[in-house]
Amino acid sequence: MAKNIFYAQSGGVTAVINASACGVIETARANRRFGKVYAGKNGIIGALREELIDTSKESRSDIAALRHTPSGAFGSCRYKLKSIEESRAQYERLIDVFKAHEIGYFFYNGGGDSQDTAYKVSQLSKIMDYPITCIGIPKTVDNDLPLTDCCPGFGSVAKYVAVSTREAGLDVASMAESSTRVFVLEVMGRHAGWIAAAGGLAKEKRDDPPHIILFPEIAFNKAQFLKKVKEVVTKVGFCVIVASEGAQYADGRFVADAGQKDAFGHTQLGGVAPTLVDMIKSRHGYKCHWSVADYLQRAARHIASATDVEQAYAMGKAAVDFAADGMNAVMPIIVRKKNKPYRWSIGNAPLSKVANMERKMPRSYITRDGFGITGKAREYLSPLIIGEEPPPYRNGLPQYVRLRNELIKKKLQPFSI
Amino acid sequence: MAKNIFYAQSGGVTAVINASACGVIETARANRRFGKVYAGKNGIIGALREELIDTSKESRSDIAALRHTPSGAFGSCRYKLKSIEESRAQYERLIDVFKAHEIGYFFYNGGGDSQDTAYKVSQLSKIMDYPITCIGIPKTVDNDLPLTDCCPGFGSVAKYVAVSTREAGLDVASMAESSTRVFVLEVMGRHAGWIAAAGGLAKEKRDDPPHIILFPEIAFNKAQFLKKVKEVVTKVGFCVIVASEGAQYADGRFVADAGQKDAFGHTQLGGVAPTLVDMIKSRHGYKCHWSVADYLQRAARHIASATDVEQAYAMGKAAVDFAADGMNAVMPIIVRKKNKPYRWSIGNAPLSKVANMERKMPRSYITRDGFGITGKAREYLSPLIIGEEPPPYRNGLPQYVRLRNELIKKKLQPFSI
């Protein structure tokens, strides 16, 4: 009998992770080799709790609408399984749930941590002698997965940041003579500057915004930064800055770290922009405005990159095709064939090599002074934001689908996580 | 001989103020009664400095592209002329510049302060016996001008905020089980809650985001707010908050006011969101995310309301038509004829009645508990965000026009402002 598929969304969601889900479900529905697609309610937590969403209850049109709906339609989670030694009971529980519901395929849609989990499940299924085909589906706005040329989710954030930088740049230019001189846009990317770099695509001519980009990869030097701000304002009349939330000093302290920690003792970031503005105002006295894009940037399906949507869908589809072809413990990847015109194809990478590796911006993508992107970066980034695929609108608002998300009947005892 | 037109943009710019400029220039070009349209470089400052942009040097297609270009294409300013008694020299300078360049029409595109200036110029032209036809063109994202049903610029910000709230709301819903519980979006509107109210349009069903809206019109009560946050998280699983930058305590202190002042001694706002997040984290320990939209919201031409674009253009066109009809010291306004389907027409209001009045949200637009909008508000707001009129894209980015902005030759002595 055809085995069922388990699909789960993991980590921070994106504007296009549901397009991958759409690719998985539509492709699996069209292939009789597969049974039903069960989605984890809130990601892997759903598997542990045996909370499985029966996607066969969803209409064809609702599944199709996933392609234009941001966020994680089945719920996601931040929940990393530890090593098999530390969390063996959890891995065994996963296998038990898979057994109970005749699941033969495990598709995990997430970043590096998730690919690590998928890899471990594939290892354990061998040991426990219950064969599971494990396929990773790449997803991360941070664009920091190795081996794949880019990650679904990134192109749309990149487009959002480039568009917003261009629009806000025009605004500041209009106001600079008698009011605002400096605008700071804070964007995501705690460890890698890919998203901040995308702001650089807004620039067409030399003095266009953004004038300064701050990357986590380049140690922040306050004196040099303030000098540069002044130079730009003097020359151009105003200064637009795109700052990564991960911008940090040479000693690794985050620029945004004013020493505050959250209830769990984690350093709370998200304040690079106001911190920079404080510096600029006290040194130069310029009137400043600042914006923190936060979730808006990764949820902004309304301005998603059509290229990104297409790739996200293709990765979901490829996962199912790989499984149908008998492949295991792999992740589909995007292979760049050509820059102009942009051509790409689908390759694959073993999960063992994807897990827990972070890809930072190459130094050659950042200008010598550390404040901008090079032609090489532009060549890499440009194709990823191409094309628009707007959602349908009703009454002026995007119509995003909300699924029924019906759970299947549990067969096992409760399991506490 | 046909007199020339002077047109200037004033105050904070919007996604559609250039659509009004487009309406002025295209309409004036088509009517032989008018000479050239001169635009003030950086608003009224350009008139005082005799820096007049000759828009006849711009191509027809570049002028047409103003309709889809955000910000102020000729530069705007924050510069309010004082009373005639205090600043008589400045008003006289304006008249001198108008005389020198055979300007017979003064079109001032701005908010309440600007309409006040336009009114004063109209008064002075009588006293100085140099006839100038003064027409105001409404513009403000704050939607706080009296007499007009709404203000060009508002509908597009409203749409941006409603769309962003819906998108970020889906994101938080996906993450809430194991991560972020609360999201705060900070929006503009220092004195009136119109923009924050627009976030309420994202809600379709009772438990949809936004769950809490904070208006400047409703005194902020910390205890009640924190109680409501907890209630929502307990019931819905997460809580989305749209907060006006002008949210304030009963005594008038801004919630965002941590006592910081800028170089000029003005209270610096823009930190409601992080302030609220601090409160929530210390009391409830929820993981929170926050966003400050700032300039992004008013520059976001890519998601502008087609209704707003159309009205902005119509206001510019009407200003020229009014002048052609011999009207003076008036401002075109938007008159609502019908809600469903939305119908509106163009009326006019005397500048003397528009100047320096602020229109706040009626109490009947805000729910009894002060945290949401009523059906009445929804009825008012809904039509204003309808329709999309995206800009053209090239290489994945909106193509916004940048004009040549050639200045005409000066004829007068310099004037220091």
The string of DSSP codes covering B31-89 is -TTEEEEEEETTTHHHHHTT-EEEGGGS-HHHHHHGGG--S-TT---------TTTSHH
- Which segments of A44-132 are extended strands (E)? 52-54, 103-110
Interface test with B, best of A13, A51, A154, A171 (most B CBs within 10 A): A171
Cα–Cα distance measured from residue B345 to residue B328, given in angstroms and rounded to the nearest whole number? 20
Other CB atoms within a 10 A radius of the CB of residue B247 amount to 27
Instruction: Report whether pLDDT(B264) > 50.
Output: no
What six digits make up the tokens of A100? Answer: 């109970």
Element holding B370 (H helix, E strand): none
- Region B297-314: what's the mean pLDDT? 98
* A202:B303 CB<8 A: no
Between β-strands A397-398 and A393-394, what pairing exists: parallel, antiparallel or unpaired?
A: antiparallel
Percent of chain A scoring above 70 in pLDDT: 97
| pLDDT tens digit sequence for B31-44 | 999 999 999 999 99
* A170:B270 CB<8 A: no
* B178:A303 CB<8 A: no
Which CATH topology does B154-301 take? Rossmann fold (3.40.50)
Q: How confident is the model at residue B318 (pLDDT cuts 50, 70, 90)?
A: very high
Instruction: Report whether pLDDT(B270) > 60.
Output: no
Give B290's strand partners. Answer: B184
What one-letter code names the amino acid at B221? N
For chain B, which residues make up each domain, given as ranges?
Answer: 3-139+303-357+387-398, 154-301
* B179:A274 CB<8 A: no
- Region B347-351: what's the mean pLDDT? 97
HSE-up of A233 (CA within 13 Å, CB side)?
A: 24
Cα–Cα distance measured from residue A12 to residue A298, given in angstroms and rounded to the nearest whole number? 9
Using a CB-CB distance cutoff of 8 angstroms, which residues of chain B are in contact with residue A274?
270-271, 274
The pLDDT score that the predictor gives to residue B129 is 86
The distance of A109 to chain B (nearest Cα, Å) reads 14
φ, ψ of residue A265 to 5 degrees: the values are 85, 5
* Cβ atoms of residues B297 and B138 within 8 Å: no
Q: How confident is the model at residue B87 (pLDDT cuts 50, 70, 90)?
A: confident
| pLDDT tens digit sequence for B172-193 | 999 999 999 999 999 999 889 9
Of B43, B292, B397, the CB nearest to A201: B397
B142 tagged catalytic: yes
* A162:B396 CB<8 A: yes
Return the higher-pLDDT residue of B268 and B239. Answer: B239
- Region B18-33: what's the mean pLDDT? 98
The pLDDT score that the predictor gives to residue A183 is 98
Going B162 to B163 to B169 to B172, the CA torsion angle's sign is negative
The pLDDT score that the predictor gives to residue A167 is 98
* B291:A294 CB<8 A: yes
Secondary structure class of B196 (helix, strand, coil): helix
Arithmetic mean of pLDDT over chain A: 94
Other CB atoms within a 10 A radius of the CB of residue B65 amount to 21
- Region A227-240: what's the mean pLDDT? 98
| CATH node for A3-139+305-356+389-398 | 3.40.50.450
φ, ψ of residue B181 to 5 degrees: the values are -105, -25
Percent of chain B scoring above 70 in pLDDT: 97
| pLDDT tens digit sequence for B246-259 | 999 999 999 987 65
Other CB atoms within a 10 A radius of the CB of residue B51 amount to 20
- Region B115-131: what's the mean pLDDT? 89
Instruction: Report whether pLDDT(B267) > 60.
Output: no
The pLDDT score that the predictor gives to residue B262 is 47
φ, ψ of residue A283 to 5 degrees: the values are -80, -45
Catalytic choice (A142, A144, A308, A321): A142
The pLDDT score that the predictor gives to residue A260 is 55
| pLDDT tens digit sequence for B192-227 | 999 999 999 999 999 999 999 999 999 999 999 999
Tell me the Cα Rg of chain A: 22
Cα separation of the two ends of chain B: 31
Instruction: Report whether pLDDT(A263) > 80.
Output: no
Q: How confident is the model at residue B261 (pLDDT cuts 50, 70, 90)?
A: low
- Region B357-361: what's the mean pLDDT? 86
| CATH node for B3-139+303-357+387-398 | 3.40.50.450
Other CB atoms within a 10 A radius of the CB of residue A359 amount to 18
HSE-up of B144 (CA within 13 Å, CB side)?
A: 22
Using a CB-CB distance cutoff of 8 angstroms, which residues of chain A are in contact with residue B303?
302-303
- Region B60-71: what's the mean pLDDT? 98
What one-letter code names the amino acid at B384? L
Burial class from Cβ neighbours inside 10 Å (0-12, 13-18, 19+) for residue B347 reads middle
The pLDDT score that the predictor gives to residue B124 is 85
Under DSSP, the state recorded for A149 is S
Global pTM? Answer: 0.97
Instruction: Report whether pLDDT(A163) > 80.
Output: yes
Q: How far is CA B19 from CA B41, B182, B311, B394, in A?
A: 17, 37, 9, 20
Other CB atoms within a 10 A radius of the CB of residue B135 amount to 30
- By residue count, chain A amounts to 417
What six digits make up the tokens of A151? Answer: 């990650």
Instruction: Report whether pLDDT(B263) > 50.
Output: no
The pLDDT score that the predictor gives to residue A358 is 81
The pLDDT score that the predictor gives to residue B257 is 77
Cα–Cα distance measured from residue A396 to residue B234, given in angstroms and rounded to the nearest whole number? 31
| pLDDT tens digit sequence for B272-294 | 999 999 999 999 999 999 999 99
- By residue count, chain B amounts to 417
Domain A3-139+305-356+389-398 matches domain A154-301 at the CATH topology level: yes
HSE-up of A363 (CA within 13 Å, CB side)?
A: 4
The distance of A232 to chain B (nearest Cα, Å) reads 18
Q: How confident is the model at residue A267 (pLDDT cuts 50, 70, 90)?
A: low
| pLDDT tens digit sequence for A108-144 | 999 988 999 999 999 888 888 899 999 999 999 999 9
| pLDDT tens digit sequence for A93-110 | 999 999 999 999 999 999
